[in-house]
Structure 1
Amino acid sequence: MALTFHATNFILQSNAYPPSFSRRTLPFSSSKLFKPSPSHHRTCLLLRSSLVQEQEISFTDEETQLVDALIGIQGRGRSASPQQLNDVERAVNVLEGLQGVSDPTGSSLIEGHWQLMFTTRPGTASPIQRTFVGVDFFSVFQEISLRTNDPRVSNIVKFSEAIGELKVEAAASIKDGKRILFRFDKAAFSLKFLPFKVPYPVPFRLLGDEAKGWLDTTYLSPSGNLRISRGNKGTTFVLQKRTEPRQRLLTAISTGTAVTEAIDEFISLNRNVAEDEPELLEGEWQMIWSSQVETDSWLENAGNGLMGKQASANCTYNHFLVDIVLGLRFSMTGTFVKSGTNTYDVTMDDAAIIAGPFGYPIEMERKINLQLLYGDEKIRITRGYNDILFVHVRTDGLKAK
């Protein structure tokens, strides 16, 4: 997708567990102290629930692999880890090698309102791309309308319902079954607090070939809900017309809009169709939202689980790691034991400040009753200390199936 106006660009364009340690041995080399036992690598059981909305949105197995890979990636790819990028690239390559809609530009399925879910970010990206696309608080869309007397492709950055949007338009034409040619010709801000549009200050007529570009659709799903496109500057885009429930929940979190209500609705839908007991899944998890605002004390925030990453293994081992500043990290390790259908007794009693290969122990203990409200391979919702809700996304990639 493109919100860039220079050159011919149409874009807005480790599986190992973190270290564990013991007070009895600190400080020593972390390479010796921070290695979990082989038993930590056994696989935990997992409930992967199918939701009512997910059944309404049609995805093939190969498309589901891509959707799963996108879950938890922030900034539409800007903050993706190497493992996450590998997962997306692998899923994209699989779909591009399959037979989607054979003539996407000739199909009515390409028409409509598409939401940008992921984009690669080459070094040639324009300042406006870097400004808008990597910000989760903004929603980014592409509108395609080719079967009119004035075929166009428009790119939209929606700031919020209260603020408004920026719309950049291009005159479009079809070159062949996959390629759309375009030329930017106008752009404007539509702001809720102004009764008129504010022109975007870009002299398109003076840009010449810099305002031109092309966009290839390399995969269009037969359902018309998923599209992969590549731009003339080598950028890859993944777009969807409708997002599945986990994606909608993460959108609410990224925009800060009615998050608690979105969680309640999501869990309610899951509860209605769940058949088995949920289990914690081992892996590395990054907290992206909690229902309690962090305090001024990073140590209190860290100890209460309000920041940082968690790693669990063997369904009994838990490690919590927080990057502080200037290479310093806070670490806590402990155990969790299942105490009910979806509850766990968590004891975190092995804390330290880590600097490089060394650690300085801290006397700290936390005992928490953790309730697992929802869990699948990519997202986890729990209720813990002081009834605080937590949402974590998995950052160590998808497991091979």
Structure 2
Amino acid sequence: MQQDIVFSTFLIFAGASVLATFALYTRQPVLIAYIALGALVGPFGMGWIEHPEQLENMSHIGIIFLLFLLGLDMQPSSLISVLRQASTVGLVSSLLFFIAGFAVTWVFGYSQMDSIIIGLALMFSSTIIGLKLLPTTVLHHKHMGELMVGLLLLQDMLAIFTLILLGVMKGESDMPVWQPFLALPLLIGVAYLTVKGILLPLITRFDRYQEYLFILAIGWCLALAEGAQLVGLTYEIGAFIAGITLATSPIAQFIAISLKPLRDFFLVMFFFALGAGLNLGMLSSVAFSAIALAIVVLTLKPVAFRILLRRFSERTSLAWDVGFRLGQISEFSLLIGFVAVESGLLTERGSLLIQATAIITFVVSSYIVVFNYPNPIAVSDKLRRD
């Protein structure tokens, strides 16, 4: 039966409003309500929404807008300086997480190839969780926000390399391994010249027309996101470059304020689709290994980031803060699992293990941040920062 998009949207947001109200009354993070709703009405629950993958494709736009808005809040000079530090921390931590993921999965009796893929999936932290729980007005202009962005962007590049590697292992990739690393500086250069030569003159001339500026910003964000995808990068990297090249424009803050509701609309759909995609019937087959893997992620990632960042003279409190905010696996992990299953490199059981670990770490790490660090959805007035 064809899925009714109007009914699906109604179900998501009406149901989310009910569960989010319950979550707020019981002092729980609202992200948990969206994931729980997906599991409840999705194909493995009541079955009211049979094809959550269609909604997941739409919800990806929310991630694109999230990175675009983040770029608008960051000056290019600050990003360059923090990337130097993030490169070492990101590479060393990713190697450590891969080894831990491989070892734990191997101990639980998974095949060598499953263990390798799952180890690769554990290298990354969630861009959405990390940045959704990062206060926009308080931390995006501070060193911690810049540091997190640097680490997440580096992980995005590693994720691209991993996806290309999976294609090479299956013999299906036509893209050279070096292509994304050459495409990145070229895309940045084209974006900078386009903003300087075309967009800024247009903004200066038509700055009285807010609707035009809104459309221009969305068009620029999605155009560069699509361009990045075409040259072997990701939509997220393209959107971030689109944002950072406009960061010095006079309308940067206007765009940021205008797009926040649109971003939140699609992010609700993302978390719903995440819950709806979990196969509850097969969950028992990976329950113990998923819990063990989640415990490793939730403990190892904060400790590893704390130790590595302290070696670069970061404050202990900042190092712990960054570590706990990045103490989960990523939406890229889910994508790697999907691609590996489609290529025949990963078993269905291995893919379900990645999904279950992702949801457990998303939920627990959200609780840790919401109850202990400043964030926009904190249940405590003392910690709530927009």
The TM-score with structure 1 as length reference comes to 0.25
The TM-score with structure 2 as length reference comes to 0.26
Between Structure 1 and Structure 2, the one with more helix by share is 2
Q: Which has the higher contact order (CA 8 A, sep 6+)?
A: 2
Between Structure 1 and Structure 2, the one with more strand by share is 1
